[in-house]
Chain A
């Protein structure tokens, strides 16, 4: 059908333009600073993290950093439950196994401090 072919051609053109635009802008602009430095005033222990174990107040420990992901829960591609059942816990293993580099970029925006063992 000619209509489907036109739709496909249009989508193809839009995709090409979008990809080129994103790559072009990303190359020629400076990335915004993200809070992924290990420096910072706040260190949290597992006891403190485990107090934030509900969907309304959800902290996670991932790779020795502490994240408050409460506001991200509704946006999570894998659904809310995959995060909410892990609130207040160490989630490095599942996060590393299931996520891409881009997901780490997003996670960086939710960092509130570093994890202190013990």
Chain B
């Protein structure tokens, strides 16, 4: 009941509810440990309480951020898409750092009241806090690099692993310094549960994933160049086929020494017969290398599927920008003749558009399906005015973030309700 309601709310609300729940899940045991009586009269006592609480709350947020990164299927199902889960993961990660920065700041006040030397000693020179100091420093550098620098995919993955690993430093810090956890066995065990869930998720996904995460075996059937930047890789099952729906994504790991070995997510494109295809656009190191080296016969480990976007079909307006087209291609092949769907496909140049002939054929074949190709270099960017808003109730937008943000805003101005606009706002890396 609660999980169903959670799944229906938008991404910001999900972040808010999770943050609030974790706040109270920290506050309740904290107050219990303090005997529900907190002296906050003096400045030093007040700031110390805030410092203690922010440490515990940051620890809790950190644990749950790692749990989300574990990509557990039963948790991913509580979100409308995998992208949404990762979006909440990113928000919680940023909140974790915010709250953990407040932890030493508030605790420093009591030492500042003694002297600046005492505060400096506490902040950087005290060896007792070395695990906390190193952990926080690595977290600051890792998150700053992730957010403010456009890292290559491989470096981005590496920084994420390091940030997850430094959770251990936070754990050692929390369990060895004169914290509430140190003094209270109940609090000690309570936070241990979250720590084990968080760090366990990291081990499951990043360290032991090769052995523990279930994957299906596929083989590259053929590779087709769609244009100078995009190719379509057709896969057929080697054993049992994965049960997927149009709009799903999966994680792919190509098992060939000439192909980059890391796992990468792609949207699944439905095709007739066994297997499916993925459309890859050259956007970075990994996709460039993949484009150069992937060939027929290469084995592929596939993990998933995960819901990428939620496509109902009937009564929807779909808007694809650039490489956001794959889920719509798959779903359009499954439409019933009377399903009322309009697909708008916006690309910069005509040569960038893929599967246009397929989509035109479907438009002629299916009574309720219409298709519009918009070339932005000639006709300008697609706007809400270009869309037949009319009787359609739901909008699904998939493309570059600036396009999605602008269209969402314009649709809202045209009185479309937020809950009827589905847009994937961040790139699933």
A interface residues (Cβ-Cβ under 8 A, vs B): 1, 4-5, 7-8, 11-12, 14-15, 18-19, 22-23, 25-27, 29, 31-32, 74-75, 77-82, 98-103, 105-106, 109
Cα A80 to Cα B115 in complex, Å, equals 24
Residues of A within 8 A of B34 (CB): 79
B interface residues (Cβ-Cβ under 8 A, vs A): 11-12, 15, 33-35, 39, 41-42, 44-45, 48, 51-52, 91, 94-95, 97-98, 101-102, 104-105, 107-108, 110-112, 114-129, 140, 143-144, 147, 177-180, 182-183
Contact A99 B105, beta carbon cutoff 8 Å: no
Q: Nearest-CB distance from B125 to chain A (Å)?
A: 8
Contact B48 A23, beta carbon cutoff 8 Å: no
Q: Can you name 16 extra interface pairs (CB under 8 A) apart from A14-B101, A29-B116? A: A19-B123, A22-B119, A26-B117, A74-B39, A75-B110, A79-B183, A99-B128, A100-B122, A100-B129, A100-B178, A101-B125, A105-B115, A105-B121, A106-B111, A106-B118, A109-B114
Q: Which residue of A lies closest to B97 (CB)?
A: A8
A78 with B129, Cβ < 8 A, contacts A4-B15, A4-B95, A106-B118 known: no
Contact A106 B126, beta carbon cutoff 8 Å: no
Contact B182 A26, beta carbon cutoff 8 Å: no
Dominant secondary structure at the A interface: helix
Q: For chains A and B in complex, what number of residue pairs have CB atoms within 8 angstroms?
A: 125
Contact A101 B126, beta carbon cutoff 8 Å: yes
Cα A93 to Cα B124 in complex, Å, equals 25
Cα A5 to Cα B178 in complex, Å, equals 31
Cα A109 to Cα B95 in complex, Å, equals 37
Q: Which of A77, A80, A101 is B128 in contact with, Cβ under 8 Å? A: A101
Q: Which residue of A lies closest to B46 (CB)?
A: A75
Q: Which residue of A lies closest to B112 (CB)?
A: A22
Q: Nearest-CB distance from B170 to chain A (Å)?
A: 16
Residues of B within 8 A of A80 (CB): 39
Contact A106 B178, beta carbon cutoff 8 Å: no
Q: Nearest-CB distance from A8 to chain B (Å)?
A: 4
- Chain A CB count within 10 A is highest, among B111, B120, B147, for B120
Contact A102 B121, beta carbon cutoff 8 Å: yes
List 28 A-B residue pairs with CB atoms under 8 Å apart, sorted by A's residue number.
A1-B91, A4-B98, A5-B147, A7-B98, A8-B94, A8-B143, A12-B140, A14-B105, A23-B120, A26-B120, A29-B116, A31-B118, A75-B48, A77-B110, A79-B33, A82-B183, A98-B183, A99-B128, A100-B129, A101-B128, A102-B118, A102-B122, A102-B126, A105-B115, A105-B117, A105-B121, A106-B114, A109-B114
